[in-house]
Amino acid sequence: MQSLGVKKILLLASEGTILSGIYEKRLTARGIECISPPQEKFFMLRNFIEAVKQDKFTTKVKDSFVDFVQGKR
């Protein structure tokens, strides 16, 4: 990612992965800022992940996801 000039990423992952800090530590060590949703939004992220896993990623879910990523939710 560094070679592409990436300086900041939004980490969208399971609660355990975010809380473990595994990606944040490695990205920060490479000079890349790692932003995660606040804990009170983890349930929303979990719903998006489950929608994909269960093949229920509808237009409504997609629109909600886009709003989530853009900070509108």
44 and 63 housed in the same domain: yes
Verify that 1 and 32 share a domain, yes or no: yes
Structure tokens at 59: 């237009």
The total number of structural domains in the chain stands at: 2
Cβ-count burial 21-32 (b if 16+ within 10 Å, e if not)? eebbeebeeeeb
| pTM, two decimal places | 0.76
| Per-residue pLDDT, 4 | 81
Q: Which pLDDT value is given to residue 73?
A: 66
Q: Which pair of tokens denotes residue 30? A: 């490479």
6 and 20 fall within a common domain: yes
Do 1 and 30 share a domain, yes or no? yes
Cβ atoms within 10 Å of 44's Cβ, excluding its own: 15
Nearest to 50 by CA among 20, 9, 15, 11: 15
- What is the residue range of 67's domain? 38-73
pLDDT, position 66: 93
Local confidence band at 27 (pLDDT 50, 70, 90 cut-offs): very high
Residue 38 pLDDT level (bands cut at 50, 70, 90): very high
Task: State the average pLDDT for the chain.
Answer: 91
Residue 25 has pLDDT above 90, yes or no: yes
